[in-house]
Amino acid sequence: MLLIQDSKDRWTIPKGHIEPGETAQQTAQREIGEEAGLHDTEVLGWLGKIHFRYRRIDKLVLMTTQIYLVRAKGDTNAIQKEEWMNGIKWFKFHDALEEIEYEDIGKLMLLAMKRIRQENL
């Protein structure tokens, strides 16, 4: 599992905002390319969505994130973090589950592992 470490040292998954004319699935692939340098990817399926709130200056913002199971292909050792990140790393599944900051993402990671095992992906 690929995780990124944000500027506050929290481990999470690559994610970002949908650009005009883009689907959520296209966004997932683009963000993985931008945030990890992995451009040869295959979306294996939709896992679900999570909702969270964060404070932006004086406003409380509600965010919805669509989560996809994505397979990296090609040279997966060539990951490169963006400048704002504190880290990027491949984790064994159980280690990733231990490190992930957000419980809702952890639940979807469990669903991803179940799908991988069931469908032998």
CATH number of the domain that 13 lies in?
3.90.79.10
The structural domain count of the chain equals 1
Residues 6+ apart with CB under 8 A from 74: 38, 39, 40
Backbone angles phi, psi at 64, to 5 degrees: -115, 130
The domain of 115 spans 2-119
Q: What is the pTM of this model?
A: 0.87
What pLDDT, in 10s, does the model give residues 18-73? 999 999 999 999 999 999 999 999 999 999 999 888 788 888 888 889 999 999 99
What's the rounded Cα separation, in Å, for the pair 65 and 19? 14
Q: Render pLDDT for 58-114 as a digit per residue (tens, 0 to 9).
A: 888 888 899 999 999 999 988 999 999 999 999 999 999 999 998 899 999 999 999
Measure the CA–CA gap between 17 and 40, rounded to whole angstroms: 20
